[in-house]
Amino acid sequence: MDSSKLASLLLSLAYTLFAVFLAIIFVEALPVRLLDPDWILTLSASLVNTVTIPLVGLGLVHVAVHSSSEPRFQLIQRRLGRLATWVALGFFLLLPLLGLLTFLNGQKIDRANAVQKVQIELKAGQIREAVADAQSIKELQRAMVAVEGPQIDAVSLNQPLPQIKKQILTLVSQAQSRFLAQQKGPYSKEYLPVFKQILRISLLSLISGFGFAALAWNPKTNKSLLTSWLDALRSLARALGLTGAKRSSPKWLAAMRKKFELARVKLGRWNRAKQRGRDKNLQTSEREKEIKRRQNERFKLRLREFRNRHK
C-alpha cells in the first residue's frame, strides 16, 4: 500500500470517529433545554466522556499528513487545526459555565428548602389556628379532618379538651422541628456526588482543552496552538524580568544580610572566648588540686618521720 492510499484510509477512519462523536453528542443533547442546569451537566458529562474519540481522530489526521506529501491532506490538516482551536477554546469556556452551574445548583436547593419551609409553617399555622378556635371535641375532630392535621384517637376522646389541644400542638411542634432538622443544604453529603461530578467534568474539560490545543497544528508556523501559547508566556516572562539573569537584591536586604553576618561573627567570637575561659578555669582548678595533693603527701611524710623519731 502506497503512502497516498494509507493517508486516505487514515483520513476516512478519522472522519468516522468524528461522525461517531457528533452522533453521540446529538442524541444526548435532545431535547434541548439551554436554561436547565441538569441538561447542561448531562451534556458536559457526555462531552468529556467521549472526548477521546475526536482526539484520536485528529491524531490520525496528523499521521495521514505525514504519510503523504499531497497538498490536499495538508489543506485538511489546516482546516481541522482551525476547528480544533475553536474546540479547545470551547472546552476552556466550559469551566466558568460549570462554576455557574455549581452556583445555580446550590441556589436551586436553597429555593426548594425555602419553599418547603414556608409550606410546613403555613400548615402548622392552620392547625394551630383550628385548635385555638375549636370549642368542643367534636368541633376539634372536624377541624383536624378539614386541615389534614393529627387525628384524635378513641383513647384521647375521654380526656379534657385543653389536654387534647395540648397534645395536638405538641405533635405539630415536634413534626415541624423534625422536618426542619431533616432539610439538607446544598453542601451536605447527600449532594456531594453532584459536586464531585462537576469537579470531574471541570478537570477533564481542562485536560481536553489542552489536548485539542496540542493537536491544533498550524502548517505556516510549524507549531501547535499549545506551543504558541507557551512561547507567548515565555516572552511575557522575559519582558517582566521573571527569567534570565538573576536580579540583584535590594539595598535594604543587602544591608540586613551584612548585619546578620556581623552578628554571627561576633557571636562566634564570644562563644570561643567563653570556651577559652572555661578551659583556663579548668586548668587552674586541676593545678590547684595537684598542689594540694603534693602538700598533703609532704605533710603525711613529715608526720610519719616525727612519729618514728619519738617512738
Sign of the C-alpha dihedral, residues 90, 96, 98, 104?
A: negative
Neighbours of 235 (CB within 10 A): 11
pLDDT higher than threshold 90 for residue 50: yes
- Across the range 152-175, mean pLDDT stands at 77
Residue carrying the nine cell digits 455557574: 100
Residue 159 confidence class, pLDDT cut points 50, 70, 90: confident
Which of these ranges, 196-205, 224-233, 252-261, has the smallest mean pLDDT? 252-261
Bridge partners (DSSP) listed for residue 22: none
Q: What is the pLDDT of residue 222?
A: 80
Report the amino acid identity of residue 34: L
Q: What are phi and psi of 219, to 5 degrees?
A: -65, -25
- Across the range 61-66, mean pLDDT stands at 88
Q: What is the pLDDT of residue 156?
A: 66
Residue 208 confidence class, pLDDT cut points 50, 70, 90: very high
Which of these ranges, 16-20, 170-174, 251-255, 294-298, has the smallest mean pLDDT? 251-255
Sign of the C-alpha dihedral, residues 217, 222, 224, 228?
A: negative
Neighbours of 271 (CB within 10 A): 10
DSSP of 52-107, one letter per residue? HHHHHHHHHHHHHHHH---HHHHHHHHHHHHHHHHHHHHHHHHHHHHHHHHHHHHH
How far apart, in whole angstroms, are the C-alpha atoms of residue 131 and residue 140?
A: 6
* Burial class of residue 14, CB neighbours in 10 A (0-12, 13-18, 19+): buried
Please state the pTM of the whole predicted model: 0.58
Is the Cβ–Cβ distance between 18 and 54 less than 8 Å?
Answer: yes
Percent of the chain whose pLDDT exceeds 70: 91
- Across the range 194-215, mean pLDDT stands at 89
Is the Cβ–Cβ distance between 127 and 172 less than 8 Å?
Answer: yes
Angle at 259 between CA 255 and CA 260, to 5 degrees: 115
Q: What is the pLDDT of residue 17?
A: 94
How far apart, in whole angstroms, are the C-alpha atoms of residue 4 and residue 66?
A: 10
pLDDT tens by residue, 69-119: 788 888 888 889 889 999 999 999 988 888 887 777 777 777 877 888 888
Strand, helix or coil for residue 218: strand
- Across the range 40-58, mean pLDDT stands at 91
Which of these ranges, 58-72, 151-165, 259-273, 282-296, has the smallest mean pLDDT? 151-165
pLDDT higher than threshold 70 for residue 179: yes
What mean pLDDT is reported for the chain? 81
Is the Cβ–Cβ distance between 182 and 117 less than 8 Å?
Answer: no
217-218/223-224 β-pairing: antiparallel
Residue 192 confidence class, pLDDT cut points 50, 70, 90: confident
